[in-house]
Amino acid sequence: MRTSQFPLNTVKETPSDAEIASHQLMIRAGLVRKLAAGLYNWLPLGVRVLQKAQAIVREEMNNAGALEVLMPVVQPSELWQESGRWEQYGPELARLKDRHGREFCLGPTHEEIITELARNEIKSYKQLPLNYYQIQTKFRDEIRPRFGIMRSREFIMKDAYSFHLSDESLQQTYDRMFQAYTNIFTRLGLNFRPVLADTGSIGGNASHEFHVLADSGEDAIAFSTESQYAANVEKAEALAPTEPRADASEVLSKESTPNQRSIEDISTFFNIPTSQCLKTLLVKGDDDSVIALLLRGDHTLNEIKVEKLDGVLTPLTMASDEDIQKVAGCNAGFIGPIGLDIPIIVDRSAAVMANFTCGANENDMHYRNVNWGRDLPESNSIIDIRQVVEGDASPDGKGTLTLARGIEVGHIFQLGTKYSQAMNVSVLDENGKNKVMTMGCYGIGITRVIAAAIEQNHDDKGIIWPTALAPFQVALLPMNMHKSERLKSATEKLYIELTEAGFDVLFDDRKVRPGFMFSDMELIGIPHRVVLGDRGLENGMVEYRARTDSDNQDIPLDNIITFLKAAINQQ
RNA sequence: CGGGGCGUAGCGCAGCCUGGUAGCGCAACUGCUUUGGGAGCAGUGGGUCGGGAGUUCGAAUCUCUCCGCCCCGACCA
């Protein structure tokens, strides 16, 4: 391709509303342009990258035995009513009516549709297991789209859905998908980790997320220092402390603490560590009740864990000021478990605290040196409800946890029978008996993968594409070609040779200054650069430089094709 | 939805407080010079100042209202 035929829509200035590197660079390199909040146009250069990513995903999905289908973006409400998600989903589901007043939505995902397709098309157990996938646009009316392509409202996703007669068969396909995902992200040149995940609103049993590691990631991931254990912090279990509880050595006292509301306030006021303070949170229960959650002061609540508990209202809702006044008789900031007559759930770490400080259920008052058993009854609901922190013991018993940030680019689930049951998807088994199919589902955010790749691979000059994603492999740059016939014909000749040798070449035939060409090619991240100048040609030499190098290499013109083949294969 | 901010040329912004000729930089286009790291000079085009209503002799500027966008908190590929 020639730049005269393939305009590069690069911009020198960094857009003011772009926060993270990938967003800035995708705009600057001319991959995308914003149309409206969370909606983007993809320019020719961006489309080339998208196609590279899609091709790899297709290949690996096909290799893993999945079959490509294509389902509509616009979906009839009836199916969503049937699964119950028309009511559940809320405003994130974009709804619309056709001219007849019939209700539809823009698909945020395709479980309902695939289930409908499967129950019509899969008639015998002999057709199972079956794994359908598609690469399709999704729309989710996100509360707050941000970070450009990373969290847009419309995005492209590869989603696959598998159908099985047994859990063993589901596990087999799940494992196969796990491997396919590993292959895909490896081929894409990403530094990623599969981690144990929560199953979230989609529901189901086993689940892994695939995260690209990047500081700008929106998720926190916990890794074991000693083993392969890795989990989303939402999911990572905080084990019960192994140290025994200290003795109740100090005398209980009640002290005046005017205006000392937060854990930090109290910690400073009494000059004690925050880990010696007890945090009491009140949340709403199922039936208009209020439930108390107790945590060590330096720990934070894990909402996902709490939402799974019986009796707790989902989604998790903090008690109102009126509720707090009613059950505790004080304002938030002075609540404590002593004398509190509501269900109390105690975090494992909070249960081994001794001589701790907590609110006295009286404004401007706290208790000091409180002890379980002595000053309040031992709890019989001690449960893990906190977020793990760096240094916690790894849940598999090997090593401790470290935390890192990740971008979720893939997610695989064992759905079980959640949708097949609700939507009555069954086949006849060997014995002629009706059997509800069990399902798996497997997603990859294609557009997000592009953003994540940039997030992980860039420098101050621009994008550094992994070979597999690069829109072009080789940039062919003649220096002031318009001034030299010899240079022009040599470059044209090399362009043809490279193209015939199978390289994706971007030949910069614009009449622009060298510095301009260099900057453009670095910004758009072409991995390999070949520069031709009159000086070098005198000696039959061209210059080569990888995007990651800081120096040129002189290569004989006659060898350049062999050289490039080796350079590309090496990566 | 709650809190904060913004909307003026394709992009980035000034002007608004204190009402009176709509500006600067970059980009685009033309010409000349320049040509190994985002060139220089000269010139040209480009605006419903987010929309509407109001106050005023007069509104980008003051008031009201609607719309859009961005940032901070609850979702997910």
CA of A326 to C1' of B1 (A): 26
The predicted pLDDT at position A205 comes to 67
The predicted pLDDT at position A410 comes to 96
Under the banding of pLDDT at 50, 70 and 90, the label for residue A283 is: confident
> What is the b/e burial string over A343-353, where b = at least 16 CB atoms within 10 angstroms of the residue's CB?
ebbbbbbbbbb
Mean pLDDT along residues A93-107: 91
**Of residues A205 and A30, which shows the higher confidence score?**
A30
The predicted pLDDT at position A201 comes to 53
- For strand B, is any atom closer than 7 Å to the CB of A70? no
pTM to 2 decimal places = 0.91
CA of A36 to C1' of B59 (A): 30
Strand B-proximal residues of A, range 506-535, CB below 7 A, are 513-516, 518-520, 522-523, 531-535
Rounded to whole angstroms, how far apart are CA atoms A189 and A549? 18
- What is the SS3 assignment for A74? strand
Report the relative pairing of strands A154-164 and A130-139 from DSSP bridges.
Answer: antiparallel
Q: Tell me the DSSP string of A316-379.
A: --BPPHHHHHHHHSS-TTS--STT--S-EEEETTGGG--SEEEE-SSTTEEEEEE-BTTTBPPP
Nucleotide nearest to A219 (CA to C1'): B76
Q: How far is CA A386 from CA A217, A307, A355, A469, in A?
A: 21, 12, 21, 40
The predicted pLDDT at position A286 comes to 79
Q: Sort A249 into a burial class: Cβ within 10 Å, 0-12 / 13-18 / 19+.
A: exposed
pLDDT of residue A36 exceeding 90: no
- For strand B, is any atom closer than 7 Å to the CB of A218? yes
pLDDT digits (tens, 9 = 90+) for A54-71: 999 999 999 999 999 999
Under the banding of pLDDT at 50, 70 and 90, the label for residue A400 is: very high
The predicted pLDDT at position A202 comes to 54
Nucleotide nearest to A197 (CA to C1'): B76
From A283, A281, A273, A282, select the one nearest A357 (Cα to Cα).
Answer: A273
CA of A152 to C1' of B63 (A): 37
pLDDT of residue A203 exceeding 60: no
Q: Report percent pLDDT > 70 for chain A.
A: 99
- Whether residue A134 contacts residue A71, with contact meaning beta carbons closer than 8 Å, is answered with yes
pLDDT digits (tens, 9 = 90+) for A304-325: 888 888 888 877 778 877 888 8
Nucleotide nearest to A449 (CA to C1'): B77
Mean pLDDT along residues A420-424: 90
Closest residue, by C-alpha, to the C1' of B77 = A445
- For strand B, is any atom closer than 7 Å to the CB of A411? yes
pLDDT digits (tens, 9 = 90+) for A495-507: 999 999 999 999 9
Q: Sort A467 into a burial class: Cβ within 10 Å, 0-12 / 13-18 / 19+.
A: middle
Q: How far is CA A133 from the centre of its chain?
A: 20
- For strand B, is any atom closer than 7 Å to the CB of A333? no
